[in-house]
Structure 1
């Protein structure tokens, strides 16, 4: 269903864009600013980007239309949860994993721009239910 090399290329492009934005602007901006800039960078790189995409949740026959809002969805394959906090928290990864499971996608990234080094703020999350 998903080509691993294509997913790896998408996530590599995302990481590169995050690092470039962080290198140019550093930490300290609002999440919403990083989100817009990251979406713009990825679109300029040829990716299809959806911001603030609503994600419904169905549970026992009940549909919650506006249950979640995804920060960024890239090429309908990779979810990015954008953060700008001084510390990474496990809840961010858990939140992203929930999105991946609902969407039945294999991989997403938490991108925390609030740290001194962007590479320390990148966390790749794999949906074990989707990994062969």
Structure 2
């Protein structure tokens, strides 16, 4: 399954979750519901995947955790904020770099239409 096809499927499921719940909930509520729904749809999903930092050949657990990792390829970082900003993008890019993942989705569920709160990220690590 291509990353583009996979990403479109994830976005479709996220839109279903957002349509049902609407904006205004805590990030964790969206994460749990999206995790449940993606698993129900047959996706392989890891929740709160620990991402160690490698420094001088030592793996350090610094508390980095990917919200959701789908099919071992797509990093999903969820937010429920007034607006996405550069720090949110940097956080997502950091997870992608640490795990050597090329594709990511930064999703802000605190919007009227989820489509307006999604940023697709492709990086050449």
Per the normalisation by structure 1, the TM-score is 0.89
Partners in 2 of 1:65 and 1:73 — Cα distance?
18
Is 1:123 aligned to 2:112, yes or no?
no
Partners in 1 of 2:93 and 2:121 — Cα distance?
7
Residue equivalent to 2:87 = 91
Identify unmatched segments of 5+ residues in structure 2.
none
Question: Which of the residues 25, 29, 32 maps onto 2:25?
Answer: 29
Is 1:39 aligned to 2:19, yes or no?
no
Greater than 6 Å deviation, 4+ residue runs: none
Where 1:76 maps in the other structure, the secondary structure is coil
Residue equivalent to 2:44 = 48
Partners in 1 of 2:119 and 2:24 — Cα distance?
19
1:60 Cα deviation after fit: 2.2
Identify unmatched segments of 5+ residues in structure 1.
none
1:6 Cα deviation after fit: 1.5
1:40-59 Cα distance to aligned partner (Å, 9 max, x none): 11111111111011110012
Per the normalisation by structure 2, the TM-score is 0.93
